[in-house]
Amino acid sequence: MTTETKGRYGKFGGQFVPETLMTALQELERAYEEAQLDPTFSKELDYYLKEFVGRETPLFFAERLTKHAGGAKIYLKREDLNHTGAHKINNSLGQALLAIRMGKKKVVAETGAGQHGVATATACALLGLECVVFMGKEDIRRQELNVFRMELLGTKVVSVDKGSGTLKDAVNEALRYWVSNVEDTHYILGSALGPHPFPQIVRDFQRVIGDETRRQIVEHEGRLPNAVVACIGGGSNAIGMFHPFVDDQDVKLFGVEAAGSGISTGKHAAAIAGKQEGVLHGAYMYVLQDDDGFIQEAHSISAGLDYPAVGPEHCHLADIQRVQYDSVTDQQALEAVQLLSRVEGIIPALESAHAVYYAVQLAKEMKEDQLVVICLSGRGDKDMQTVRDALGGQSI
C-alpha cells in the first residue's frame, strides 16, 4: 500500500468506506477542525469532564502490588474511577458535544463489553441526544446488565445476530445504520479505529489520560516513568495514555493484546501478533483474517478486547518499534484480577487486568528506583459473572 492520503499513520489508516459515507466523514473532519480551534468547545468539554465525569482521575501508588512484584514502583492511572467506570466516557462526551455542534439530533454507537455503549448512552442522556446502540448477540448474553443500564439511560439497544454476533458485527451494523441516517445522526465510534478522522478524534479525546499521568507522575516522583503499560483491544485507552509520551524516547511503552486461550491455539484477539495486514471498518490495519481475506473472529475472555484488528496508529507504532506489543492470556488476566483485588482493594476490568499482569512481570525485571505506570482503564463490576464462571465457582 503506497497510496498516501490524510489520516495515515505510516502505511496504516485511511478512509476505506462506501462512497455514501465520504461526505459525512468530510463533514466530521471539518467540524472537528473547527471545534479544535474554538476555545469554547474545549472549555465546555473540560467542564463536563471535571464536574460530570469526576476528572482528574488519581495516579495511585500501588504500594502492596509493588512489594508483591519486588521490582519497580507501580502506579495505577485510575480510569476506573470515571463516571460509568471506564475511560470510554472521555471520548463519548467529546463526540456527543461534537454531534451537537454539527446539528445532529441522534447518535449511533456500537459496543462490545458494553462500556462504550453505557458511556455513550450516559453522554446522550446528559446532553439530550437520541441514542441507538448496536451490540452483538453474544456480547448481550455476556454483558446483560450493561444492556439494562443502557436501556435505563433511555438508549435503544439493538441486538446483532449476524456474523459472529460480536463487536465487529456490531460495528458493521452501526455503519449500515449511519449510512442510512447520516443526515441527522452522528456515529460515536468507541475505539481508535475506523476511517479517518475517527482514530484521531478518539485519540485526542482520550489523551487526557496521558496528559494527566505525565503531570501527576512528575508531581509524585519529579520525573517521567520508565515504562507505561496499557491493554489493547481497538486501542483507545492505550493510545490516549501513550500519545503524550511518544516523543519521550526514555519512556518505554508497552501495549498488551489479548492472547485468549493462547496465540498458538488460534483462539485469540492479538492482531499485531498475527502480523497480517488488511482493511476492516474503513482502515488499513493489522487484522485477523484467513487466506481468502475473510475476517476472523477474535477470542478473549474480555469482551472489550474481542476485536479482530488494532487501531491504525498502534499498527504504525508497532512497525516503527516505538511501542512494544505483547500479549497476555485469559488465564493470566484472571490471575491479575484476583491479585489486584486482594493486594490493592481494586477490582479491575478483565481488559485492564491484561495490563496489570504484564506490568507486574515487567516490574519484577526492573530496578527498585524505576517507575511503571499501568493504565487501569476500567473497573471490574461488569465482569463479576464472567470471572466467577471462569473460576468455576470456586471459593477464593
Partner 1 sequence: MTKKLVTQAIMQCNDQGNKAFVPYIMAGDGGLQTLKKNILFLQEAGATAIEVGIPFSDPVADGDVIQQAGERALAEGITLRKIMKELASFKEEVKIPLVIMTYLNPVLSYGLQSIAADCEASGVYGLIIPDLPLEESGLLKDALKDTEVALIQLVSLTSPTERIEAIAKAAEGFIYAVTVNGITGVRSSFTEELEGHLERLKAASSVPVLAGFGISTPEHVRTLGGLADGVIVGSAIVTALHEGDYEKVRTLINASKNQLTNS
In angstroms, the CA 379 to CA 107 distance is 25
**Residue 221 near residue 61, CB atoms below 8 Å:** no
Nearest by Cα to 107 from 91, 131, 135, 133? 131
In angstroms, the CA 62 to CA 315 distance is 30
Task: Tell me if residue 73 is catalytic.
Answer: no
**Residue 333 near residue 357, CB atoms below 8 Å:** yes
Coil, helix or strand at residue 165 = coil
State the number of binding residues for partner 1 (CB under 8 A): 38
Task: Name the residue nearer to partner 1 (CB basis): 22 or 391.
Answer: 22
Task: Name the residue nearer to partner 1 (CB basis): 99 or 295.
Answer: 295
**Residue 302 near residue 336, CB atoms below 8 Å:** no
In angstroms, the CA 182 to CA 170 distance is 17
Does 292 participate in binding partner 1 (rule CB under 8 A)? yes
In angstroms, the CA 94 to CA 110 distance is 16
Among 5, 40, 249, 264, binds partner 1 (CB under 8 A): 5
Q: Label the pairing between strands 73-78 and 8-9.
A: unpaired
Task: Name the residue nearer to partner 1 (CB basis): 232 or 295.
Answer: 295
| 139 alpha-carbon distance from chain centroid | 16
DSSP code string of 79-103: GGGSTTSBTHHHHHHHHHHHHHHTT
Among 282, 311, 312, 378, binds partner 1 (CB under 8 A): 282
Among 81, 217, 280, 360, binds partner 1 (CB under 8 A): 280
Task: Name the residue nearer to partner 1 (CB basis): 13 or 233.
Answer: 13
- Whats the size of the chain, residue-wise? 396
Task: Name the residue nearer to partner 1 (CB basis): 200 or 206.
Answer: 200
* Set 77, 88, 168, 252: catalytic member: 88
Does 22 participate in binding partner 1 (rule CB under 8 A)? yes
**Residue list 140-199, contact with partner 1 (CB under 8 A):** 162-163, 168-169, 172, 175-176, 179-180, 182-183
> Residue 168: CB partners within 8 Å, gap ≥ 6?
280, 281, 295, 297, 298, 307, 308
- Backbone phi, then psi, for 327, in 5-degree steps? -140, 160
Among 278, 311, 378, 380, binds partner 1 (CB under 8 A): 278
Shortest spacing between CB 277 and partner 1, in angstroms: 8
Shortest spacing between CB 315 and partner 1, in angstroms: 15
Nearest by Cα to 188 from 90, 280, 307? 90
**Residue list 60-89, contact with partner 1 (CB under 8 A):** none
Among 111, 143, 213, 289, binds partner 1 (CB under 8 A): 289
| 8 alpha-carbon distance from chain centroid | 20
Amino acid letter for position 379 = R
Shortest spacing between CB 24 and partner 1, in angstroms: 10
- Radius of gyration, alpha carbons of the chain: 19
Shortest spacing between CB 326 and partner 1, in angstroms: 26
Strand ranges (DSSP E) for 261-333? Answer: 277-280, 283-287, 309-310, 323-329
* Set 110, 138, 212, 313: catalytic member: 110
Task: Tell me if residue 377 is catalytic.
Answer: yes
Does 20 participate in binding partner 1 (rule CB under 8 A)? yes
Shortest spacing between CB 17 and partner 1, in angstroms: 6
Shortest spacing between CB 173 and partner 1, in angstroms: 9
Task: Tell me if residue 4 is catalytic.
Answer: no
Task: Name the residue nearer to partner 1 (CB basis): 198 or 358.
Answer: 198
Shortest spacing between CB 284 and partner 1, in angstroms: 9
Cis (ω within 30 of 0) for the bond into 312? no
- Binding segment (CB under 8 A) for partner 1, from list 151-159, 218-226, 285-293, 326-334: 285-293
Q: Which residues are at the interface with partner 1 (CB under 8 A)?
A: 1-3, 5, 14-20, 22-23, 162-163, 168-169, 172, 175-176, 179-180, 182-183, 277-282, 287, 289, 291-296
Q: Any idea which residues carry the catalytic annotation?
A: 88, 110, 377
